[in-house]
Structure 1
Amino acid sequence: MKKLVILGGGESGVGTAVLGKQKGYEVFVSDKGQIAKKYKDVLEHFEILWEEGKHTEAKILDADVVMKSPGIPDTVPLVKQLVEKGIPVISEIEFAAGYTDATIIGITGSNGKTTTTELTNHILKAGGFNVGMAGNIGDSFAKMVSEKNHDFYVLEISSFQLDGIVDFKPHIAVLTNITPDHLDRYDYKLENYTASKFRIAMNQTEEDYLIYDADDPIIEDWLQKHPVKSQLLPFSLTKKVDQGAYLENNQIVITVHKQQFTMPTDIISLDGKHNIKNAMASSTVAQLTRIRKETIRESLSNFQAVPHRMEKVLKIQNVTYINDSKATNVNAAFYALESMSAPTVWIIGGVDKGNDYTPLFPLVHEKVKAIICIGVDNDKIIENFGRVVDIMVETQTMREAVRAAYEFAEKGDNVLLSPACASFDLFDNYEDRGNQFKEAVRNL
């Protein structure tokens, strides 16, 4: 019996454990931290061996294959030992994809991937497809494959998950954009991070498709130097494309296999230029899967925004409070600030991942009246924006930050939580950060 060892007892780890057990592996789950009760219950139910608070090396180094959860870096000594021993260390999507014949739509990018994944899933469901949405969002892909095999999977895939693939190949790959993010995991080199994102297309053939942002100079430059085999379907707001999607007179024009259809941008339920791009990407997928044009248009007009992404919370004394906690990097914060049409009090801060804040200076100068820092270490933010904005305040809790924003905001202003940083210094994750923001606003 082959031995499958899983490092990390979270959503992807436990999902892989269940699928591995079902497929006849001897499974062992090891987590250096604590495993949540809901996941322990699942492991107990399936009679899967597990440990927490430690890694028993003898058991782990005896594996035939190891599934590593995306949060564990490749540089961890135990992972290096496994690689030196020649034991394959793979990600959940690599493991699970081996047990399904479904059509896989893989979506990655620095920003917009969650919205594009949810939007694509929304359109495919409306088209009557048997579709599962998983990956970096919601349920684990492996768990889905073990429970009920769908005909289509729409997977949101992070660069960390792509680092652990060998044969994984989506039939349709979407690359929303590439901006500096997670550089702390890639030796602070953008080209390493870019190479990681492009792994989504590395096993694709001429029968597969790569949908990507043709306005993104990093993507365009990479494709010229490293051509892929898949059929290219670019989308653009600034130039016409023969195949793919472009914008003309406030109409989205999509051409796939010589079939063309158009729709006005004002039917899209989500605001902002970046959401036109997300809609273009999702609609191109829908065209490839031959969903009716009317269904695509309807789906774009009735789609609800993703929580914690430009989510309007409340209006208090004519001040609008916006929760964009999902903006964990500079580019996401750029989109948020760009869409502000009123003076803005901006709440920013958290764990800096090697951020370069200079692209934000013109927008901050134009739109931001006060900055509220929320983080354990705000020195870099103060240093960068101290000369751009007159009012800057440091806070240590979300309640304090919202209270300060309330003091500075006047009628007609916006208060925007768009942190441009990871959340782990003060919060469990970006959802916890966003929920605390919403609660603090409701308690004003």
Structure 2
Amino acid sequence: MNSETNISKKVVVLGGGISGLGAAILAASRGYDVFLSDRAVVNDAFAKALNEHGISYESGAHTLEKLIEADVIIKSPGIPDHIDLIKQLKQAGIEIISEIEFAFREEREVPVIAITGSNGKTTTTSLMSYLLETAQVNATTGGNIGESYALQVAQKPADYRLLEVSSFQLDGCYEFAPHIAILLNITPDHLDRYDYQFENYIDSKMRIAQSQKASDYFIYNADDQAITEALKNKDIKAQLVPFSMTQELKHGAFIKDNQIIITLNNTLFTMPIQELALKGKHNTANTMAAATAATLLKIRKETIRQSLQSFKGVEHRLENVLKINKVQYINDSKATNVNATYFALDSMEHPTVWIVGGVDKGNNYSDLYELVNRKVKAIVCLGIDNGKIIENFAKCVDTVVETSSMEDAVRVAYRLAKAGDNVLLSPACASFDLFENYEDRGRQFKAAVRNL
């Protein structure tokens, strides 16, 4: 048994998705007595993997008597803390942690680069992964994207672990201490999981740095008021490395004369913004964060430059799909909150037909009014309940149309758009009313565009 872990012999994994399966396989590989419990039906491929590793499980229900025997519970990030089952398990005095926390405890010796933020974390993680690959660093990429951290610890030895981490994953972290933590921004999101208190969500994001040591680095957005205010009240031991789009910094990354400038430990890196593969202000900030981390890792300047010039971007994030009759169709399905959609609309340089809607997570749309007035010629609502969107934007645009399927939404947008316009899917909402997830929503959008 790992001598550094607090975990006793009996491990229960709650949730049989990607993170749950990874945690169960890692726990089994370490010789723990593992039981997985999923309220939904475990899919066939996952059930096969559990059987192959000799992991016992239940599917379609949670049996409290079996769960309460645990010394530690590894909880899926999709399961909220406020449900009765979790309350009962906490009352029983059982430690409940996330898969990220568990994997870290099992492999403390491999340094972690962890990236979080309300927006841009997938793009920044993907860019960082590309940087490491170009520099021929032996690193895995996972967490909130791709394979679970735990599965990689179990099966893929590496010199570095690069992780995208969500607030839900951080909520179950206590000892998790990345060598380099990146916090891109904090804007209201998932407030339904945080008692509609923005402060609770801020606390969740700041957990990424709570256990870092003085030899670690915390790269953060110095333009983000939520972060700079939180830093005043938190005892962060890591070395602070800010990045800014608006202020000149003696230490960190900033913009001057349309150039990214990074000054760190007597190292100077500069690169013209127009040479960056990722366009738009928000992507310049994401690029600065990744390049700062690469500089701390002592990756060669020429390798960093080459990577920033040639990176191709991320599917479902401002992804140009097709141009039809001189109309550009853009897939930004990953914009599941207002702030992400703000960036998308802000980057539109032509009149835009905006496809918006889904499961509202407590959205405040007021930040979008000015942009919608200026950039949007028509709105196509795509959701089961579009009332709040119509109420907010009916005065901003003349045309608002309700639809209930992606095919219908794309056909309506096709009729509304003229040569030179954009059609932008940027929902500002979660996808679970009509789609499996944002990837399914994005793929359906691309299929519907190709079928026009």
TM-score bin (small chain): over 0.9
Q: How does 1:5-24 map to 2 (within 5 A)?
A: 5-24=12-31
What's 2:223 paired with?
215
What are the Cα deviations for residues 272-301 of structure 1, in whole angstroms up to 9, with x where unaligned? 011101110000000000000000000011
1:34 and 2:13 are equivalent in the alignment: no
What's 1:258 paired with?
266
Select the residue among 292, 298, 313 that pairs with 2:300: 292
Q: Is the 8 A contact 2:354 2:426 kept in 1?
A: yes
Counterpart Cα distance in 2 of 1:142 and 1:221: 33
Q: How does 1:44-443 map to 2 (within 5 A)?
A: 44-100=51-107, 101-443=109-451
| 1:258 CA drift (Å) | 2.0
Letter in 1 for 2:166: S
Q: Secondary structure at the match of 1:98?
A: helix
What are the Cα deviations for residues 117-147 of structure 1, in whole angstroms up to 9, with x where unaligned? 1111111111111000010000011000000
Letter in 2 for 1:217: Q
| 1:221 CA drift (Å) | 1.4
Q: Is the 8 A contact 2:41 2:60 kept in 1?
A: yes
| 1:222 CA drift (Å) | 1.3
| 1:10 CA drift (Å) | 0.5
| 1:256 CA drift (Å) | 1.1
Counterpart Cα distance in 1 of 2:350 and 2:174: 48
Letter in 1 for 2:74: M
**Aligned alpha-carbon RMSD (Å):** 0.8
Letter in 2 for 1:75: H
Q: Secondary structure at the match of 1:428?
A: coil
Q: Secondary structure at the match of 2:106?
A: coil
| 1:227 CA drift (Å) | 4.2
Counterpart Cα distance in 2 of 1:272 and 1:129: 28
Counterpart Cα distance in 1 of 2:260 and 2:395: 40
What's 2:5 paired with?
none
Letter in 1 for 2:26: L
Counterpart Cα distance in 2 of 1:25 and 1:2: 5
Query: Percent same amino acid among aligned pairs?
Result: 57
What's 2:4 paired with?
none
Unaligned runs of 5+ in 1: none
What are the Cα deviations for residues 198-217 of structure 1, in whole angstroms up to 9, with x where unaligned? 00010012111110111111
Letter in 1 for 2:190: H
| 1:156 CA drift (Å) | 0.3
Counterpart Cα distance in 2 of 1:15 and 1:227: 32
Letter in 1 for 2:372: V
Q: Secondary structure at the match of 1:181?
A: coil
Q: Secondary structure at the match of 2:270?
A: strand
* Farther off after superposition, 222-231 or 171-180: 222-231
Letter in 2 for 1:33: A
| 1:166 CA drift (Å) | 1.5
| 1:224 CA drift (Å) | 2.0
What are the Cα deviations for residues 302-340 of structure 1, in whole angstroms up to 9, with x where unaligned? 111100000000000000000000000000000000000
TM-score normalised over the length of structure 1: 0.99
Letter in 2 for 1:16: A
Alignment size in residue pairs? 444
| 1:36 CA drift (Å) | 1.4
Counterpart Cα distance in 1 of 2:243 and 2:188: 21
Q: Secondary structure at the match of 1:184?
A: helix
Q: Secondary structure at the match of 1:426?
A: coil
| 1:225 CA drift (Å) | 2.8
Q: Secondary structure at the match of 2:229?
A: helix
Letter in 2 for 1:195: D
Letter in 1 for 2:132: L
Letter in 2 for 1:92: E
Q: Is the 8 A contact 2:127 2:313 kept in 1?
A: no
Letter in 2 for 1:144: Q
Counterpart Cα distance in 2 of 1:149 and 1:166: 24
Counterpart Cα distance in 2 of 1:90 and 1:153: 19
